[in-house]
Amino acid sequence: MGEIFVQRDEKNRIFGLVGREMEAGSPATIGALQFLRAADASMTEYLHLSPEFEVDKEISLIIDRSDPHLNREIDAIMETLVVGFKMLAEEYPDDLVVHEAPAMIRV
């Protein structure tokens, strides 16, 4: 079963998405991978950012949130991704699960 882990910062903003066991090739995991590729392309081409996107044993999309002027745009893309993942998980409950990690607390 594929898993998506949503990583949030102390302000509850998504800074990373990690997919595990996504190589199964089910419609849910294929869809999730395409969503991640689309988000990477959007942030690269439209926002001119350089997200860290890796497809290996794990799939990860990590975004640098240091530019406060792009927070709304990044939030829109990342939150839309999470909604899409949750919709896939509802449609294919045996193939995909989405985990929302609690916001990181920095002391």
Of the pLDDT bands very low, low, confident and very high (cuts 50, 70, 90), residue 45 is very high
CATH code at 17? 3.30.70.1490
1 located within any domain: no
Give the pTM. Answer: 0.86
**Local structure of residue 58 (DSSP, 8 states):** S
> How many angstroms separate the CA atoms of 107 and 79, rounded?
26
12 located within any domain: yes
107 located within any domain: no
Of the pLDDT bands very low, low, confident and very high (cuts 50, 70, 90), residue 90 is very high
Of the pLDDT bands very low, low, confident and very high (cuts 50, 70, 90), residue 84 is very high
User: How many structural domains are present in the chain?
Assistant: 1
Q: What pLDDT does 74 receive?
A: 95
**Local structure of residue 99 (DSSP, 8 states):** E
DSSP per-residue letters across 11-22: TS-EEEEEEESG
Q: What pLDDT does 44 receive?
A: 95
Of the pLDDT bands very low, low, confident and very high (cuts 50, 70, 90), residue 26 is confident
41 located within any domain: yes
82 located within any domain: yes
Judged on CB neighbours under 10 Å (0-12, 13-18, 19+), 46 is exposed
Domain span including residue 46? 6-100
> How many angstroms separate the CA atoms of 69 and 64, rounded?
12
